[in-house]
Every structure is written in structure tokens, then in C-alpha cells.
Amino acid sequence: MVDVTPADAVPPAEVGEVELYHPHSWWTKYVFSQDAKVIAVQYSATATAIGLVALVLSWLMRLQLGFPGTFDFITPEAYYQFITVHGMIMVIYLLTALFLGGFGNYLIPLMVGARDMVFPYVNMLSYWVYLLAVLVLVSSFFAPGGPTGAGWTLYPPQAIMTGTPGGQDWGIILMLSSLILFIIGFTMGGLNYVVTVLQGRTRGMTLMRLPLTVWGIFTATVMALLAFPALFVACVMMLLDRLLGTSFFMPAIVEMGEQLQHNGGSPILFQHLFWFFGHPEVYIVALPAFGIVSDLISTHARKNIFGYRMMVWAIIAIGALSFVVWAHHMYVSGMNPYFGFFFATTTLIIAVPTAIKVYNWVLTLWRGDIHLTIPMLFALAFIVTFVNGGLTGLFLGNVVVDVPLSDTMFVVAHFHMVMGVAPILVIFGAIYHWYPKVSGRMLDETLGRFHFWVTFLGAYLIFFPMHYLGLMGVPRRYAELTDMTIMTESAHHLNSFISIMAFIVGFAQMVFLFNLIWSIRHGREAGGNPWRATTLEWQTPETPPAHGNFGKELPIVYRWAYDYSVPGAKQDFIPQNVPGTFGPSREPT
């Protein structure tokens, strides 16, 4: 029954050894390192640091919304700067960078069985350009006029006009430059992630044996490589409009009583370019989260992911479809209204593969052996918030329902739930899951549970009621909600409640940070494979994995990534690099 294929029966030559980079000094080992694992930690640390800035900004804006008129230092100007930089950081500099630059760098080489990324030098450059982009963004706080306050969508004409903070100062210039740098840096990294999955896989690691985490990150990276150029084009053209007086996006305009020199440009053109990037961006953040959460659920429920093939096809389908739905962000933008029919249809079609993914996560739990570890708790919370946010997406995607709801707090609640809270819960789950591999120690359990409960319930209490403010008609991006006839007194109280919850949830993140730092030295020793998982990153000879990942010999893969609780096997998991045939229903190989 057990048919062991000895390793030496495998034709030896087809995987050539990579020329491994060897650091010579402390600087090249820890700072200018070309090791993907070090780069991953650098990416993650930078993204977390800038994420803290975004967290503080969100507190400041919630202060203003929850307690209007109480804090004099929050002028409308400052408020718009807060929301703009908060949104930009969260979407691009935190979520994109952390999922692809952080998790991608750490997990791809380990999970596909490679020693490192295929172009380590370019990979290192990617991080340093990203850091530069972050620094340029931060520098706008110290520039005259402060950062831009144009909203994260940066819609022209207002983004480059006097009435907007930073529009005629340095703010918008630094913002656009920072984005251009980010895109250049990301492209360098993205090439690595894609080509490593294509060419760096170890023997036996076919595409259908890849863990879904790799599938998610891989597809998201391909999408990002094709979508970010649209943002690049939009940024370059807007920069020219602002600095050299061209009229790509700027029509004839009377500003403060003055006729501007621009003529004939099209603000809608910018919106098309922006959302051609912006919608795939949602899935660039979501797909890695989908992949990671699939692996978390499977590992901690001790059961193979239900419908693996469907999950892979759904990832590919979502990736492809997400390029033809961009104009659902523009239903009331004044574009040709007949586009609405097309884009509403494509948008609702994309709900089908997404729903299949949700069903398969839940069906993986069915008849599983569910260990309620912290990663599992976060995965469950992800499903709740993602289903909630995904379903409100059906409101906004359905063109006519979007008409009253667009640009209200409903939209804010929706996208925070679906691409803010949900992916971040996955990030937390993933950190609790892989921290033992990165550091060799477990994160503290008690602090972790406290962090989980406050974050999950708090975030739900923030964003669920917020939908109803939007339904009431409260617009988003209002620095003050005074003199609004539609807002009842109780709606203002609801806003104060939301603000208080926001502070509490933010505080819980400090506990998490403390846990991260404290556990490096004081956490429980983890061992090589504390979750008894099957994928290759848990099978490394050392923990944390040494440079080169797998010691002398690269692992050979004999099975898919989800052999949990296989009948006939002694343990309830079989690592991917263990040879042999198990299970009653299997075809002999």
C-alpha cells in the first residue's frame, strides 16, 4: 500500500542550484540584505510603522466626527489632510506592501521550495525604493502647506487647485511623486514574486500542489503589475498638469474668480485611469487574504480545504473579471449612463466566484476538527466581516441602488468592512500563525485573545452601524456634520459611539505591538512545526529558516498542500515532502 518513491529515482538534473548570495558583513546581512526573509521583515516593519501613522490619523478624524467643534486644532483643512493620507497609507503603503512585499517575500520562496527569490538584488532594491516612497509621503507633513487633502482618490481638478489643502503647495506634488516611486519599487518586487512562482518551484511542486496562499499572492501580483501602470500614467499626467500647465485632466475653470489657463481637459479621463487601477487594487488586497485564510482554516480545522480546484479557478476568475468592473465606482460620475448596464452586470457576476470561496471556507469547517487557536479565531472573524462587507457590495454594485448610497457613509462602512477590517483580520491571523516560524517563538496567548476580541467586536461595532448613517443620507468626507436637516440628534450620538469604539480598537493594537516585541525574547519556544502543518515552510531544518531556507538539499514534493486527516495515515497531517501513498480511495501512482 505504501509505495515509497526513493528520492534518487527522480531524474536529478532539472533543477539547477541557484547561485546563492552570501552576505559578507553585518550591513549586507541585516540592512542591505538580499535574503527575501530579511526583506520581508523590513517591508513588514516599515508598513507597520507607517500604518501607525494612519491609525493616529484615523483617531484624529474620528475626534472631529464624534465630537464636532470640541477640538479647535482640527480645521477642515487638517481634516481633509488626515482622511487623504489615512486612506492612501492604508490602501497602498500598508495593505499592498504588507501582503505582497511582506508575506509575499517571506512565504513564496519557502512555500514553493526555493532557496530565495530569483532576482535577489532587484528584490532588495524594491524595498529601498519603497522606503523612499514612504519617506517622501511622510515628508509632505513637513512641507509648506502640509500634505494633500484631495481625498485618496485625488480627483482633479480640485486636487491641484487652491481650494484644496496642498493643491497649489507641495502636498500634491509629493503625493504623486511618492506614488510613482512606490509603483517603480513594487514592479521590481512584483517581477520577483511572479517569476519565482513560475521558475523557482522545487521538483514535484506543480501548480495544483501550491498552497492557496501562493495562488492568492501570485494572482494578486500579476494583477498589480498590470494595474499599477494605470495609476502611474494618471500620476504622471496630473503632475504635468500641476507643474507645466498642460490640460490632460483640466478643463476651462474659473477659480476664485480667475479664469485659469487650462482648457478642454477631461476629469473623467482621470477617473477611468484611477479606477482601472483602483478596482483591481481591491482584489490585490483581497486575493492574498483569501489565499492565506484558506490555509489558516484548513490547518487549524485539520481538514483539507474543501473544493481546492474550485478555489483556484475562483481566484483566477476573480483576477480576470476584476479588470472589467472598474466603472462601478463611477455610476454617478457623469460618464455615459448606459455604461451602467454593462458594469452592473459584470460587477454582480464577480459575486458568484467570490461567494463560492465563502461557501468553501465554511464547508471546510463542516465535519472538521476545529482547533480554536488564535489564527482560527481571526479566520472566523474574517469570514463574518468579509461576508458582511461583500454583501453590502451588492448594494453598491447594483447601479441604481448605488445612486442614493454613493458618496455617503454607507460606502465608507462598506469598503472599510470588506477591504479594511477583513484583510487586516487575516493579517493578524497570519502573523499569529507564522510568527513562530519567523522568530522561533509563539506569541503570547492571553494577550492574543484580548487583542482578537477587542479588534473583531470593536471593528464590527464601528462599521456595522455606520451603514445606517449612509442610508440616512449622511455624506462622506464632511469635515463637520453641522446644520444637516437629515441628521437626527441620535445620529450624532451614534457618531460619538463610533468614535469611542475606534479609540478602543486602536488601543488594542498597541497591546498587539507589545506582544510582537515582547515575545521575540520571552515567548514560548515554538519548535519547527507547532501547528503540525503540511506546507514546506514548516519543514525547514532550522527555525527560523537559515539563509538558503532548506539546508543542503531542496525538498522534493510528493503531494498537495492539504493532506490533513487522511484515512490510513497515522498522523492527522502528511507534510508535502513526505513520500508514500495513503488513503483508501487513491489511485495507485
Partner 1 sequence: MAIALVLVLVVVGSVLFHFLSPWWWTPIASNWDYIDNTIIITFWITGVVFSAVVLFMAYCVFRFRHREGNRAAYEPENRRLESWLTVVTAVGVTALLVPGLFVWSRFVNVPSEAADIEVVGQQWQWSFRLPGKDGKLGTSDTRDVTSDNPLGVAPKDPNGQDDVLVEAADLHLPVGKPVKVLLRSIDVLHDFYIPEFRAKMDMIPGSVTYFWFTPTRTGTFQVLCAELCGQGHPLMHGVVVVDTEQDYQAWLGQQQTFAQLSAPQQTGSADRRPGETTASGPDIAAKLETVEAR
Partner 2 sequence: MSVILVFLLVIAGFAGWWLSHQRLLAKPWLEQGMAGEDFVDLGRSPLPTAKIGLGVFLAVVGCLFSLFTSAYFMRMGLSDWRPLPLPRLLWLNTGVLVLSSVALQCAVVAARRGQLDMVKLGLATAGLTALAFLVGQLVAWRQLTEDGYLLASNPANSFFYLITAMHGLHIMGGLVGLGRTSASAWNGGRPERLRLGVELCAMYWHFLLFVWLGIFAVLAGWAATIIDICQRLLT
Q: List, in order, residues 6 or more apart from 292 with CB less than 8 Å away.
A: 103, 212, 213, 216, 426, 429, 430
Residue from 259, 263, 488, 571 touching partner 2 (CB under 8 A): that is 263
User: Do residues 131 and 144 make contact, with C-beta atoms less than 8 angstroms apart?
Assistant: no
Residue from 25, 206, 336, 446 touching partner 2 (CB under 8 A): that is 206
Q: Quick check: 163 binds partner 1 (CB under 8 A)? A: yes
Give the Cβ contact number of residue 340 at 10 Å: 20
Residue 334, classified by CB atoms within 10 Å of its CB into exposed (0-12), middle (13-18) or buried (19+), is exposed
| Ranges within 301-340 binding partner 1 (CB under 8 A) | 301-304, 306-310, 332-334, 337-338, 340
Binding mask 553-582 for partner 1 (x = CB under 8 A): ---------x-xxxx----x----------
Residue 522, classified by CB atoms within 10 Å of its CB into exposed (0-12), middle (13-18) or buried (19+), is exposed
Q: Quick check: 187 binds partner 2 (CB under 8 A)? A: yes
Please state whether 27 falls in left (phi above 0), alpha (psi between -120 and 50) or beta.
alpha
Q: Pull the grid cell for residue 399.
A: 447601479
Q: List, in order, residues 6 or more apart from 259 with CB less than 8 Å away.
A: 252, 253
Q: Quick check: 442 binds partner 1 (CB under 8 A)? A: no
Q: Output the smallest distance, CB 498 to partner 1, in A.
A: 12
User: Do residues 192 and 122 make contact, with C-beta atoms less than 8 angstroms apart?
Assistant: yes
Structure-derived torsion over alpha carbons of residues 524, 527, 533, 538, reported in degrees to the nearest 10: 120
Residues in the chain: 589
Q: Output the smallest distance, CB 175 to partner 1, in A.
A: 15
Residue from 8, 9, 257, 552 touching partner 2 (CB under 8 A): that is 9
Structure-derived torsion over alpha carbons of residues 451, 452, 458, 464, reported in degrees to the nearest 10: 160
C-alpha span between 354 and 363 (Å, rounded): 14
Residue from 132, 401, 511, 520 touching partner 1 (CB under 8 A): that is 401
Give the Cβ contact number of residue 75 at 10 Å: 13
Of the pair 38, 312, the CB lying nearest partner 2 is at: 312
Residue 586 interacts, among partner 1, partner 2, none and using kind-specific CB cut-offs from 5 to 8 Å, with partner 2
Q: Quick check: 304 binds partner 2 (CB under 8 A)? A: yes
Q: By C-alpha distance, which of 108, 365, 345, 319 is closest to 220?
A: 319
Region binding partner 1 by CB under 8 A among candidate stretches 144-152, 180-188, 273-281, 520-528: 144-152
What is the phi/psi pair of residue 426, to 5°?
-65, -40
| Ranges within 112-141 binding partner 2 (CB under 8 A) | 118-119
Residue 558 interacts, among partner 2, partner 1, none and using kind-specific CB cut-offs from 5 to 8 Å, with partner 2
Q: Output the smallest distance, CB 378 to partner 1, in A.
A: 11
Q: Quick check: 77 binds partner 1 (CB under 8 A)? A: yes
Q: Pull the grid cell for residue 206.
A: 506543480
Q: By C-alpha distance, which of 231, 207, 230 is closest to 219?
A: 207
Q: Output the smallest distance, CB 88 to partner 2, in A.
A: 21
| Ranges within 308-327 binding partner 2 (CB under 8 A) | 308-309, 312-313, 316, 320, 323-324
Of the pair 233, 457, the CB lying nearest partner 2 is at: 233
Region binding partner 1 by CB under 8 A among candidate stretches 98-106, 231-239, 456-464, 536-544: 456-464
Q: Which residues of this protein are in contact with partner 2, per CB under 8 A?
A: 3, 5, 9-11, 14-15, 118-119, 187, 191, 194-195, 198-201, 203-209, 222, 225-226, 229-230, 232-233, 236-237, 240, 244-248, 261, 263-266, 269, 272-273, 276, 304, 308-309, 312-313, 316, 320, 323-324, 556, 558-560, 562-563, 579-582, 586-587, 589
